Amino acid sequence: MRRFWVLAVVPFVGCAQLLSYDDYRERAGAPVDGGVAADTLVDDTAVEDTGPPPARVPARPGGAAVASGKGKTLWLAARTYSYGASTPDGVTSSTAWTFYGYDLDEVCTSERDSIENRGTCRRPPGAKQDSLIDGQRCRDNNFGRAVGAVIGILPDAEKSLNDLVRSGSTTWILRIDDLDPDADDAFAPGALYRSSDDRTSATPPSWDGNDDRGVQSDSIVDGDVTKAVLTFPRGYVSSGVWVSGDPAPMKIIAPISSVGFFPVNLASAQITVELDAGRTTGAHALLVGALPAAEIKPAVDQITDFLRVCPGTPLYESTLTTFLQLPDLSVGAPKLQDLERTCDGVSAAVAFEVSPIKPVTRVVAPIPPRKPRCTDAG
């Protein structure tokens, strides 16, 4: 069943201490953690990881996926986002995308591997030889690689968006049910909503756990806040990290401003959220998945329209060409790779930070979509 979802963007900081990658081995030729030089040796050392989050989505724990009867419900709201224009420390960088995402295809693609096109699907026609290279610890995030560069055209673009979100603009709200205190929990279903815009409210958000936020009616069914349009019935917790479930299609409404939203259809998508031990709050979160090739132009059109880069202009055409050459995955293939196919999916990652809010009871009318800035004629 296709899932419908609401989205926005944020700086993502690592939580490597929560998970172990002692059993993870990069294959020869994988990039070192800095994402620049090529490591020609298999990493068999047991050096403690002090860098970004682990490369793999935490695996589902054992045990029956049934309610314990003693779990709690946690409501979280996203307070900041990042498309990949800045590092987790907030520094604008052309390599910021390398910090975000997971190793979706379980293949570590170095610069040499990308040039020789080995171990992955075939590069799209015209793509640069390094277009298949992974980020740090084999993270797959080609969409962030390009979007971060585009957003970087506007000074402080991510900061401006996050200032709006922190002041009360619409954002994601995540509900996680039946949370037990154990580090592993095989049953923790969830749901995602789009929040009210509370910037003009008498009580704008303070992000201290006491915020009273509403949800937009188009993200629920029959006006019932317990019935979200996008649900995660197979959510779980592994090593203190909540995971939305197995990879699945998601239709996401992605905000790029307080009033700018556009749909993005992802394949093999997942969400992860780092939780505290008491299950009272969350911190670093991540959305990952593959953007099918057919969805690239619609996504680019929305982003470039927001930036007033219109069809027919040289900048638009070069931007679209760049994005069309981004595919690095095989949509629908086992582990998202098929060596016999031309790549037809773009790896993507969006990082966001969350804070607890009060249980939601308020429903508001949906915010209308932003009017296009470009005319049909460009």
Q: What is the pLDDT of residues 332-349, one digit of tens each?
A: 999 999 999 999 999 999
The pair phi, psi for residue 345, each rounded to 5°, is -145, 145
Mean pLDDT of the 126-138 span: 95
Distance, in Å, from the CA atom of 138 to the CA atom of 110, rounded to the nearest integer, reads 8
Rounded to whole angstroms, the Cα distance separating 56 from 282 reads: 19
Q: Please give the helix or strand (H or E) that residue 159 lies within, else none.
A: helix 157-167
Residue 122 phi, psi (nearest 5): -80, 140
Strand 214-216 relative to strand 236-238, pairing: unpaired
pLDDT in tens, 104-116: 999 999 999 999 9
Tokens for 288?
A: 């990952």
Radius of gyration of the chain (CA): 20
Whose CA is closest to 321, among 303, 354, 345, 297? 297
Whether 241 has a pLDDT exceeding 90, the answer reads yes
The 10 Å CB-count burial string (b at 16+, else e) for 159-172 is: eebbebbbebbbbb
Q: 371 pLDDT band (50/70/90 cuts)?
A: confident
pLDDT band at 130 (very low <50, low <70, confident <90, very high): very high
The residues facing 31 across adjacent strands are 38
pLDDT band, residue 160 (cuts 50/70/90): confident
| Average pLDDT of the residues of the chain | 83
SS3 call for 164: helix
For residue 120, which of 42, 29, 56, 48 has the smallest C-alpha distance? 29
Lowest mean pLDDT among 39-53, 201-215, 257-271, 303-317: 39-53
Q: Is the pLDDT of residue 375 over 80?
A: no
Distance of CA 331 to the CA centre of its chain: 17
The answer on pLDDT for 202 being more than 50 is: yes
Q: Identify the pLDDT of residue 30.
A: 32
* CA atoms of 132 and 302, how far apart (whole Å): 25
| Residue the block writes with tokens 């809010």 | 357
Nearest-angstrom CA–CA distance, 232 and 248: 10
pLDDT at residue 259 in the model: 55
CA distance linking residue 22 with residue 187, whole number of Å: 26
pLDDT exceeding 70 applies to what percent of the chain?
A: 82
* pLDDT at res. 377: 46
b/e per residue 176-210 (b: at least 16 CB within 10 A): bbbbbeeebbbbbbbbbbbbbbbeeeeeebebeee
- Provide the 3-class DSSP secondary structure of residue 58: coil
Q: How confident is the model at residue 51 (pLDDT cuts 50, 70, 90)?
A: very low
Q: Is the pLDDT of residue 267 over 70?
A: yes
Contacts of 34 (CB under 8 A, 6+ apart): 136
Token code pair at residue 229: 């349009």
Supply the pLDDT for residue 42.
Answer: 32
Model's pTM, two decimal places? 0.84
Check residue 200 and give its pLDDT: 87
Characterize the bridge pairing of strands 72-82 and 241-243.
unpaired
Q: In a 3-state reduction of DSSP, which class is residue 263?
A: strand
Q: What are the structure tokens assigned to 265, written together?
A: 């259809």
Q: Which two tokens stand for residue 278?
A: 């008491």
